[in-house]
Amino acid sequence: MCGSRNRTMKLAAGVLYGFALGLLVVGLRELLTGFEENRCSMTYMFEYPEYRRVALPRRVARQYPAYGLYLYGEGLYAQETRALKLTGAPVLFLPGNAGSYKQARSLGSVALRKAGNMEGGVHFNVFTVDFNEELVALYGGSLRRQTHFLHESIKAVLRLYKHLKTPPQSVVLVGHSMGGVVARALYTLPRFNTSLVNLIITQASPHLAPVLVLDPYLLEFYSAVREKWVNNAHKLVNITVLSVGGGYRDYQVRSGLTSLPCLHGDPNKLSLVATAVPRTWVSTDHLSIVWCKELVLATVRAFFDLVDPETRQFTENPEKKMLVLNHHFIRHPVRTLGDTPDAAAFMLDLSDAWSEVNTLRLAFSTPKEAQVKYFLFALSSRRKAYSHFYCRSDNLEMSSWVYGCRQRSGSSCLQAMDLSMGTELLPPYKVLVLSLSDLSSVSHLVVSASNLNGRQFTVECEWQRQESQTFSLPVPHVLSSGLTVSDFTINSSGLLHTIRLQHFHQVYQAFRISVASQCKAHRDRLPSVFVLRAPWFREDSLTTVTVPSVAEISGMLHTSRPDNTSCALLLLHTAPNCQYKVSVRTSLPRVLGQILRFCFQTVPVYTAVTLLLACGGQMSSILKTRRAADMSLVVGAGLQPHKVNLFVYILHFLLGCGWFQEVWSRLGVPPMDVLPPTTPDVTLSEGVAPAEQWPLPLSPLLYVLGAGVAFWGTALLRLVTRLVSLILAPLHRPSITRDCGTLRRRTQLAVTLCLTVVGWTSCGALSISAAFLLHLYRVLRLQMTERSLSHMLNLSPAKRRQAENGAVDSQSSGASKERNSAPLLSESALQEVRDDLELHLCLSALFTLPLTLIAPSLIHWIRNLRYATQLDPDPCWPHMVPVIVVYLLLINGNTSQLSNSKLLPLTSRLPLPLAVAAVTFCPLHLYRVTYFLLAVLVPLSMCCLL
């Protein structure tokens, strides 16, 4: 009866966690593959690249032996700069997490090629820093060291220009990933001269918060950087920073984290996504953002426009820098930078060149022959009926094309003001939208359609009443799972329509937006462009389609708008006389992908909680029945949201009360952990991030996903243990006792002292890993013993059946009776080994969590072993000794010792409150998981002694 019940429970757990695994796989698939194909063009070199090492002072070289500074070069330029007699403008590239200094190749090669085509001798010297490809996104102990080396590198770079009459006074920094965070950390150094760097461009850098916090050094570093840039914003106002996120292809650093935490309205800080950059319009993954040709070209073009023609060095004027960055990364008005915006434009007074347009719309295609053509639109008769003037042209030349007439003579305009600075560049054409209320001093609008070079293009213009061409479409509820569809049909013949997607302003929402177009007549038309825009952040995503067609848009956001005062917009640049049907439905896979994108840090926490409660269930089983339960059953029972999440909800509610919050702070308890904010341009107070409410209702789902990871992870651990034990079995003598793989007390003490000394003198993670392997060996020996006993005991029933059938002689029968009276092997011995195996499998699964959290520090120590034998700082030092002692004490533990311990009743009650505490304090501080596990494992190890 009990066996049937266990099988039923195993089946139910398998079904539940199979469903959880399915949800996790669907969400991960959407997160890792559910995005557009890589449309970035590769940057190529025409000559072999060379990285010339720059000599640093001996003090710096001895202090940072693993780091280096290089100058990029290729071909003739590399030969000319061999002596490091440089005359260009210095640019310093900073690689990120595990990044190579050779990633500067794309930036350096494109800058070098473009300089060869420029007049005036302006060029750049691209330097790159070698940070030894350290895992600084996971191990924060090196971030401060990298910052100091960067300071020394900047001073070394500027010393190379001392021979010039007007040497550069500053260096432009380009940082990828964590390199961008290190660049901003320069200003936290007490001896750093802020005039050495006044322009920073970062690519996919998580400025708002770290992606994962596996040690306290990472949070301390971020806290210091944030405090400096927020509290001293008035001192750093002239420092221009541009942060570019990769978009949805970058699943390592979500674009919301690339938003710069700064004071509201800081004019010299820009944050945007690569999909919104003019002439780029592509999403990049975390590595391709470095070599994406479209983005590299935008950066290099900005560099050339930032150079002062007199000094041939980067300008220090903040207004000029922002003007250039806005030109290349925000708007790109398709005209030469530096022209006076309202300069008077004089036009040719040719009667054949002028045409006055009296209709509501203009559609004109230039002939093959070169000609001068102007179209005149009278404003007097349109001001009351219309609010805006819309015009577009697929002539993408860098020239002015729309003017406001000030002086008219007959049918022509003699003098006009240039209105082209508001032009927006889209992939197939340029667009200009003018508000008539801003044109009170203008009598007519002039659109130039001259093709002096004989190139054909199309111009389409119309008068617009913005209210009649703006529509509202409520989006379906996020729980509708695609069963509910919101649609809207546009029958207007206008060229631009705006759809307000009501209630679409949170990152956990995800939709499939379909736009189907149909036209009355088949003829050549300009392509349609659909722009999904979040008014609160520069994260536009563009979709260009031909007409007629059916286009699908991924309706997701990188950032949230918590005040609910605005919503996402869908701008439709449409073809005239066509019908567009817009359909919006919720996409469950994309919703799961968004949840994992923004809340994945909580999944390992709930995995730890599940294993913690499984350990508690194992202790309760030993306490009640003196036997260990099957690991799959106790792990399956570790899903207890009605207990864990309920307490968290109550605690969250109480913290909303002032009196409870005051008591909480007086007790010195740290604040509840909250996930990094999803709103852009957030100014964080010291140590506290603004709490967001939407992840709280999702905690049961995240619990299910974490429990699924724990269930199938333990199943995989059991499978791997069986396979490894089969491989190692021939190397070991068969054992039939439960004490296999244990250590003597003296051996335990000696190993503990040895591992402690090794940990203090080299790396704590190394000692903890060794202790884990010793415990794993105990599990493997138990597995081998269980298999041996099972095989031996399976032989006895067969012999007894043969004796009953008369197939065994009397001698064998007597021997069997002798064994029955005084058995060498018994079912109880096998059961004892199985109980110990289940117990240690559960403990081994729990031990893997601290090992996973400290793995980055171990990898960092191994890779830097030739430079230093000791890891400094070591994130394992606070808990290294307790973990080693616990691991070694529990090696000798068994169910008999635990069942007879007086501490077990109290210890079995600890997992639940500690699980609640882990959910409360660990989502942001993942390294705290080890502390809560130790709070259970230390008393459990004492149970083996007392």
Question: Closest Cα partner for 703 from 910, 909, 923, 852?
Answer: 923
Number of H helices, E strands in the chain: 25, 30
CA atoms of 775 and 741, how far apart (whole Å): 8
177 is a catalytic site residue = yes
Question: Closest Cα partner for 105 from 122, 85, 127?
Answer: 127
Tell me if 298 sits within 8 A of 277, measured CB to CB. Answer: yes
H-assigned helices in 197-292 = 216-231, 288-291
Tell me if 928 sits within 8 A of 921, measured CB to CB. Answer: yes
Q: What percentage of the chain's residues is helix, strand, coil (to nearest 5)?
A: 45, 20, 35
> How many other CB atoms sit within 10 Å of the CB of residue 725?
19
Tell me if 407 sits within 8 A of 441, measured CB to CB. Answer: no
- By the 10 Å C-beta count (0-12 exposed, 13-18 middle, 19+ buried), 237 is classed as middle
Question: Closest Cα partner for 107 from 236, 315, 291?
Answer: 291
CA atoms of 762 and 865, how far apart (whole Å): 9
- By the 10 Å C-beta count (0-12 exposed, 13-18 middle, 19+ buried), 698 is classed as middle
Q: What angle do CA 226, 232, 236 make, to 5 degrees?
A: 100
Question: Closest Cα partner for 390 from 349, 436, 442?
Answer: 436
Question: What is the helix (H) or strand (E) element at residue 499, kind and residue range?
Answer: strand 496-502
Tell me if 196 sits within 8 A of 171, measured CB to CB. Answer: yes
Q: b or e along 701-710 (b: 16 or more beta carbons within 10 Å of the residue's beta carbon)?
A: bbbbbbbbbb
Helix 699-728 and helix 827-863: axis angle, to 10°? Answer: 100
CA atoms of 925 and 927, how far apart (whole Å): 5
- By the 10 Å C-beta count (0-12 exposed, 13-18 middle, 19+ buried), 263 is classed as middle
Q: Phi and psi of 740, rounded to 5°? A: -65, 140
Question: Closest Cα partner for 68 from 111, 109, 100?
Answer: 100
CA atoms of 423 and 433, how far apart (whole Å): 7
Residue 779 DSSP SS3 = helix
Give Cα separations from 396 to 341, 401, 420, 427, 521 (angstroms). Answer: 19, 10, 12, 10, 27
Q: Tell me which residue has tokens 């975390």.
A: 286
Catalytic residue among 177, 205, 621, 767: 177
Structure tokens at 569: 């917009």
Longest dimension (CA), the chain: 132
Rg (CA), the chain: 35
Q: What is the residue type of 127?
A: F
Active site residues: 177
